[in-house]
Amino acid sequence: MRGLRLKLIVGVTAVFAATISMGVAQERARARSPAPAGAKLSFIDLQNNARIPGKATIRFAISGMEIAPAGTARRNTGHHHLLIDTELPPLGQPIPSDFNHLHFGGGQSEAEILLSPGRHTLQLLFADHDHVPHDPPVISEKITVEVMAAPEEKPRTVAAPNARVFFVGLQDGAVIPPRSVVRFGQENIGLVPAGTRQDNAGHHHLLVDTDLPPLDREIPSDFNHLHFGRGQTETELTLPPGEHTLQLLFADHEHVPHDPPVMSQKIRVRVQQASAASPPPAASPTARTASGRTPAPNDAAVYFIYPRDGTRIFATSTIRFGLRNMGVAPAGVVRPNTGHHHLLVDVPTPPLDAAIPADLNHIHLGNGQTERKITLPPGEHTLQLILGDDQHVPHDPPIMSERITVYIGAPAKRRARR
């Protein structure tokens, strides 16, 4: 019975294939691009039933044809598509573009994919400039991979045995208002932004109302696990009235806790009703976020492309700004995830809940500029960048650079020699 059905399927497929090829040759107005008979598509170093980590790089090999980016119509070329957990799409039309059908229209021949633990199927399908599979279709075998529950053991960044993190001025059992600033510190370990790989250094994470996450992998990023990837040492926390727990956990450039883990005691705080004794934070009206400020992505950052901290620069120099994970918009423009630059010269960080002052030390780049030529007198100067929203108010969290120091003029020694 089973044999019969198999034969039937094979027969049907053969007939189907034959009709398609004939049809294409004769009638179709827009024929599918032909593929040479010897074209072969396969995975590199990935066998059927392989076990892979949840985050894996999949490499594709095509032989007998060339890779060309989507949109480039050339004979015997095409680009890769990776089908995840799905059957072959209809071969006479463009391959859909969704989570199950990944397009590599730039001509990529590998991809880093994230898969949930469990069994998944992967299959490659080559397609032409219009994302339509070739005739005959160039398909890899469909393989099954098993994603292991635990990601592979990575060497964790080491921490000094006496390194510790702690809350500043916040004890176990403290009573705090619904909106309060939580400050934290670290000792015997360096504070560097996320992404900076350095031994015995990392950045803070605040765990709110949650137990410790697994210590051998990335700390989750959600409302219970707050990341301070720019090296912040304080945050404004808004909590509903009642009992809450807070705990600090330090982690390395990839948000993985250190070895040994550097964490604080889990403390309990009691948030009181906002009624009587609380200070007047309610002064800021019109909540856009809890703090009334424009929200910004947690991973956004502003930084100096030029100059670098501690360098000597010309009196008249062009200061160049970089912005990661956000866009630039002129002042007055309301667009999510945008803002405009402010260059602060020789002044401390201004209050973050009000519009950035406008004077000679607070240079507004209100037309969306991303660089500014300034002239400074000889000596030591500090520079800092802060992004402001349409109303010149810093975002929540504030997107600001570290305050860097630059020096103007030749060093004293060299001047003496002349």
Nearest Cα neighbor of 375 from 345, 414, 340 is 345
d(CA 382, CA 377): 12
Task: Establish if 347 lies at the interface with other proteins (CB under 8 A).
Answer: no
326 versus 393: smaller Cβ distance to other proteins: 326
Which residues, other chains included, contact 10 with Cβ-Cβ below 8 Å and sequence gap of 6+?
none
**Start-to-end CA span in the chain (Å):** 100
Task: Establish if 358 lies at the interface with other proteins (CB under 8 A).
Answer: no
Under DSSP, the state recorded for 139 is: B
Identify which range of 238-246, 267-275, 329-337, 385-393 contacts other proteins by CB under 8 A: 329-337
Query: Can you tell me which of 95, 122, 145, 323 binds other proteins, judged by CB under 8 A?
Result: 323
11 versus 322: smaller Cβ distance to other proteins: 322
Query: Can you tell me which of 24, 56, 192, 329 binds other proteins, judged by CB under 8 A?
Result: 329
Q: Cβ(396)–Cβ(296) under 8 Å?
A: yes
What mask of x and - would describe binding to other proteins in positions 278 to 307, judged by CB under 8 A? ---------------------------x--
Task: Establish if 119 lies at the interface with other proteins (CB under 8 A).
Answer: no
Task: Establish if 113 lies at the interface with other proteins (CB under 8 A).
Answer: no
Across 280-393, the runs of DSSP E, i.e. the strands, are 301-306, 312-313, 316-324, 327-328, 338-345, 362-364, 371-375, 379-388
Task: Establish if 320 lies at the interface with other proteins (CB under 8 A).
Answer: yes
Residue 291 one-letter amino acid: S
Task: Establish if 108 lies at the interface with other proteins (CB under 8 A).
Answer: yes
State how far the alpha carbon of 300 is from the alpha carbons of 75, 184, 355, 400, in Å: 43, 21, 20, 9
Burial class (CB in 10 A: 0-12, 13-18, 19+), 272: middle
257 versus 388: smaller Cβ distance to other proteins: 388
Identify which range of 48-56, 166-174, 266-274, 325-333 contacts other proteins by CB under 8 A: 325-333
Structure tokens at 363: 């240079």
Task: Establish if 71 lies at the interface with other proteins (CB under 8 A).
Answer: yes
d(CA 118, CA 51): 10
d(CA 41, CA 230): 44
Q: Would you put residue 38 in left (φ > 0), alpha (ψ -120 to 50) or beta? A: alpha
Q: Cβ(253)–Cβ(197) under 8 Å?
A: yes
Query: Can you tell me which of 67, 208, 267, 347 binds other proteins, judged by CB under 8 A?
Result: 67
Task: Establish if 333 lies at the interface with other proteins (CB under 8 A).
Answer: yes
54 versus 107: smaller Cβ distance to other proteins: 107
Query: Can you tell me which of 56, 70, 84, 267 binds other proteins, judged by CB under 8 A?
Result: 70
19 versus 97: smaller Cβ distance to other proteins: 97
Query: Can you tell me which of 42, 109, 210, 298 binds other proteins, judged by CB under 8 A?
Result: 109
**Could you tell me the smallest distance in angstroms from the CB atom of residue 322 to other proteins?**
6
List contacts with other proteins (CB under 8 A).
Answer: 67, 69-71, 105-110, 305, 320-324, 326-330, 333, 335, 337-338, 365, 367-371
